[in-house]
Structure 1
Amino acid sequence: MLLKNGVIILNAATEKTRTRILLTAEKLFAEHGIDRVSMRQINLAAGQKNSSATQYHFGTKVGLIEALFDYRMEPINQRRLEMLAELNKADTGHTLCDLVEALVHPLADQLRTHSGGYYYIPIVAQVTGHPDYHEIAQHRSRHSSGLQQLLILLRKNLADIPDAIILQRFGMALRQVFNELSDYQRLHGRLHGRDNLPATADSGMALFISSLVDAVSAQFCAPVSSATLQELDRQSKKSA
């Protein structure tokens, strides 16, 4: 293990061990639930002879989940940035559905991967609603630049909707996408018993993803009711 410019550089053997433990934990968390899997179980399933290997590499379960988020969020964020860059290049501008696709597709792609990302989606669905771990995803700011850019574009597209409502709907949309994809993953996992969706499911999945984009788009642009506007006004006066 070396330190270069303040960044820890792992040797090949250490990196291989760390990744093996990480992917083993990811699979166990997805299949059994975060609370039902111990660090010891992860260590054994990863084939580690050293009984403290998992603790050595990640410290605690929180550290392990944080490392897993970093491992998966980096390529997801990069894919989202690429999609947004393509939209910005287009002379015709972009629609709300275009923006929502940039939210949904990088996550949906994880269900098709052969590298185990298939298990990541249900873990995020667990974490976002967990009292002990829900802040982990929110604090991985170095991998959220794509979401930040997306939110800026959504605000421009939804200029008639109050910013506070857009922020609420953005959080709702993320949770909806994770939960819907997680449900889809579990259904096909049980039916097909494999680590990625089968080729025969591609057409059905394409329809599901397209419908999910439609549903999330409708949620973003739904008219704001008078009751919501009145409550928003009350909240604004309280905080003034």
Structure 2
Amino acid sequence: MSTTPRAAGTRLALIETAERLYAERGVHGVSLREIGAAAGQRNTGAVRYHFGSKEALLTAVFTHRMTEADAERRRLLAEADAEGRGDSPDALVAAFVLPLAKLLGDADRPTWYVRFLVRATADQEVGAAVRYGQGSTWTAGAEELERRVLKLLMRLPESLRYERWRLLISFTVHALADREAQLATGDADLTPRDQFVGHVLSLGAAMLRAD
């Protein structure tokens, strides 16, 4: 397959268009042909040509956004380790929340990734496209974070440890997705960004501390 600048630009347009349409309409609410057309491609098989399948396209969206985010997550964990707080609830929640929060846009620059994340990971049929523990370059930080969170929760029965981790993920991602949607609609009653993120961080840390 060609790796020319033009081909790279086409792939990026398809990835970002898929992200937006999947976020707005769900993974099963839009066809590969519609994604290609919305990305300005006259060839109805453009997505299959560049990615091969829907799952590969979904993986490309995750990789596009999460490679940098996961690197930031690893950096935050290393920084916390250097300061002797690498296993504290506050540091662990910050390592999860902040890289995702950085992906949020604003009223003048809407984004769709966190809403895409909610839609895609809620669909069991496409869940294989993003799985921690697969050894991919964009989940290493998340895998390490999960290990530390479960170790922190050793005081709980095993089944509750995993449930608490899943609840933290769900709370965080849905809170950020709601914020992203509100930004996209120009909601003027939003709390300031730093205050909102601080609120999510505090509530997330409380979830890890609670019995």
TM beyond 0.5: yes
- Report which structure shows greater RCO (CA 8 Å, sep ≥6): 2
How far does the alpha carbon of each residue in 1:94-126 deviate from its partner, in whole angstroms, 9 at most, with x for none? 63112101110101110038xx89211101101
The equivalent position to 1:205 in structure 2, one of 190, 193, 199, is 193
Distance 2:128 2:202 in 1: 28
The question of 1:118 aligning with 2:118 is answered: no
How far does the alpha carbon of each residue in 1:172-199 deviate from its partner, in whole angstroms, 9 at most, with x for none? 211221111111111121126xxxxx9x
Matched residue, 1:178: 173
* Count of aligned pairs between the two proteins: 208
What's the RMSD between the two structures over aligned residues? Answer: 2.6
Tell me, yes or no, if the aligned pair for 1:108 and 1:209 is still in contact at 8 Å: yes
Q: With structure 2 as the length reference, what TM-score do the two structures score?
A: 0.86
Once superposed, which parts of structure 1, at least 4 consecutive aligned residues long, lie more than 3 Å away? 91-94, 155-159
Aligned-pair CA distance for 1:160: 2.4
The question of 1:106 aligning with 2:94 is answered: no
Going from structure 1 to structure 2, the CA distance change for 1:49 and 1:92 (only over 3 Å counts) comes to closer
The equivalent position to 1:64 in structure 2, one of 34, 53, 57, is 57
The equivalent position to 1:37 in structure 2, one of 30, 36, 40, is 30
Structure 2 unaligned runs (5+)? Answer: none
Matched residue, 1:28: 21
Distance 1:182 1:75 in 2: 19
Structure 2 SS opposite 1:150: helix
* Identity among equivalent pairs (%): 27
Write 1 or 2 for the structure with the bigger share of helix. 1
The equivalent position to 2:120 in structure 1, one of 105, 113, 127, is 127
Matched residue, 1:220: 208
Q: What one-letter code is carried by the residue in structure 1 that aligns with 2:16?
A: L
Going from structure 1 to structure 2, the CA distance change for 1:71 and 1:83 (only over 3 Å counts) comes to same
Aligned-pair CA distance for 1:74: 0.8
Structure 2 SS opposite 1:112: coil
Aligned-pair CA distance for 1:81: 0.4
The equivalent position to 1:16 in structure 2, one of 9, 13, 26, is 9
Distance 2:18 2:85 in 1: 44
Going from structure 1 to structure 2, the CA distance change for 1:15 and 1:152 (only over 3 Å counts) comes to same
Distance 1:134 1:123 in 2: 13
Distance 1:165 1:79 in 2: 28
Larger radius of gyration: 1
